[in-house]
Amino acid sequence: MLRMLLSAALAAAAPAASLAADYPERPIRWLVPFSAGGGSDIATRIVARHVGETLGQAVVVENRPGAATIVAAQEAARADPDGYTVLTAGMSTLALNPWLYTELPYDPQKQLTPVSTLVMLPIVLVVSPDSGLHTLADVKAYLKRAEPGSYASLGVGSPHHLAMELFMETIAGRATAVPYKGTPPALQDVAAGVVPMMMADLAAARPLIQAGRLRAIAVPAAQRSDQLPDVPTFAQAGGPAFEAAAWQGVVAPAGTPEPIVERLSQAIVKALQSPNVAQQLTLQGMEPTGSTPRAFERYVRQEYERWGAVIRTKKISAQ
């Protein structure tokens, strides 16, 4: 009986192993749930080029912004589980949306398979140069005034929105969130003075900061960023000491054969360990990570529980 079961197991494993050996035989589609030019898009395109070289096939990056990453996540969840569709997925897609939406059109735990972590995306508080806000004390005064102010947001429950809400809670401030579909249009409106401030991806905001079109106030981190060494942490600027950063990983449709998931994971990790790729990401203000599928799955679970507690306590809902 044992010999029969072993033979059956080996027979079942053979097609999957053969499939992985032939994979990929055509271009891979890599979905990004944000507009082109944002931190997640930049990271994906840098890594995708190297992954394509490793796998010997083109990796085509497609932007699918909208609905707090739900548009892209739903498309990925419905895609054929053959390894030819992957998705850049982070906090919103995997850890936040399940708490924020009572009727989410995809189930991240049942319909998406973790492949690898990708990058950490540090956040920075930026203001318009014409806002009259020069320090964190100015920002606090603005948020505590009688008439509520406003700030640009990437949607209810996004990492940037939660970071701003946590900051306002600690100082008893208030402001109205002005939603945007992506980081670039939000940053452009802050630079133009349409809205006075936002918590933004450092990677996307840094060029505008260096050009003088945005003023960086503080970073919600334990220490200053090497990319913005002159910008203090919130604690150093006289504010609350707290940490907030966005993160992104890569997932595939559930049911994707494990050997293919492993091969994708190894190609992504190899890319992130490349000195050239790591340097490009670091220069963009991002921190390359990379992991096994199992390690990414554990991390997602931890973040799901951590931010779920915050969302429940503050009673935040996207509906």
Q: Is the dihedral of CA 200, 206, 207, 208 positive or negative?
A: positive
For residue 183, which of 167, 166, 163, 199 has the smallest C-alpha distance? Answer: 199
Domain with CATH 3.40.190.150 in the chain: 26-120+246-314
Please give the pLDDT value at position 12: 47
Beta bridge partners of 219: 233
Please give the pLDDT value at position 19: 58
Domain with CATH 3.40.190.10 in the chain: 122-218
Beta bridge partners of 119: 248, 288
Please give the pLDDT value at position 20: 66
The whole-angstrom separation of Cα 270 and Cα 264 is 10
Give phi and psi for 125, each to the nearest 5. -85, 120
Please give the pLDDT value at position 9: 46
Q: Which helix (H) or strand (E) holds 151?
A: strand 149-153
For residue 87, which of 264, 219, 218, 318 has the smallest C-alpha distance? Answer: 264
Please give the pLDDT value at position 17: 56
Please give the pLDDT value at position 198: 98
Token pair listed for 120: 């950490």
CATH classification of 26-120+246-314 is 3.40.50.261, yes or no? no
Please give the pLDDT value at position 18: 59
* Tally of CB atoms within 10 A around 302: 10
Residues of the chain with pLDDT under 70: 1-20, 319
Please give the pLDDT value at position 6: 43
Give phi and psi for 95, each to the nearest 5. -115, -25
CATH superfamily of 122-218: Periplasmic binding protein-like II (3.40.190.10)
The upper half-sphere exposure of residue 231, i.e. CA atoms within 13 Å in the direction of its Cβ, equals: 27
Strands 215-218 and 112-127: antiparallel
If you count them, how many residues does the chain have?
319
| Cβ pair 248, 95 in contact under 8 A | no
Report if pTM > 0.85: no
